[in-house]
Amino acid sequence: MADGGAVAPRPAAVEVGDVFRAHGAVYRRHHPMSDRQSKVMRAIQQCRTSALGGHLQVCSDCGFSQPAYNSCRDRHCPKCQSVRQALWLEQRRERLLPVPYFHVVFTLPGSLRRLCRRNDREMYNLLFAAASQTLLRLGQDPKWLGGRLAITTVLHTWTRELQYHPHLHCIVTAGGLSPDGTRWIFGSTRYLFPVAVLSALFRGLFLDGLKKLVERDQVRLDGQDFPSLLDALYRESWVVYAKRPFGGPEQVFRYLGRYTHRVGISNQRLISMDEQGVCFATKNGKKLTLPPQEFIRRFLLHVLPEGFVKTRHYGLWASGKAQQALEVARTLLQTQRERAATLRPLGVDSDSEEDAAPKDESDAQDESDAENFVQRLLRLCGMDVSRCPACQTGRLVREPLPHQSLATGIGSDTS
- The pLDDT value recorded for residue 96 is 83
Q: Tell me what pLDDT residue 69 has.
A: 87
pLDDT of residue 5: 36
Q: In the predicted model, what is the mean pLDDT of residues 75-81? A: 86
Looking at residue 335, what is its pLDDT? 85
Average pLDDT of span 51-70:
88
Check residue 369 and give its pLDDT.
42
pLDDT value of residue 357? 31
277-298: pLDDT as tens digits: 999 999 999 999 999 999 999 9
Average pLDDT over residues 293-318: 95
- Kindly report the average pLDDT of the chain as a whole number: 83
Q: Binning pLDDT at 50, 70 and 90, where does residue 386 land?
A: confident
Report the 10 Å Cβ neighbour count for 134: 25
The answer to which of 15-19, 308-312, 393-397 has the lowest mean pLDDT is 393-397
Whether the pLDDT of residue 6 is over 50: the answer is no
| Higher-confidence position of 17 and 401 | 17
CB 72 within 8 A of CB 46: yes
Query: Is 94 or 6 the better-scoring residue by pLDDT?
Result: 94
The model's pTM: 0.82
Predicted confidence band at 382 (pLDDT cuts at 50, 70, 90)?
A: low
pLDDT-based confidence at 7, cuts 50/70/90?
A: very low
Q: What ranges do the domains of the chain cover?
A: 95-264+302-329
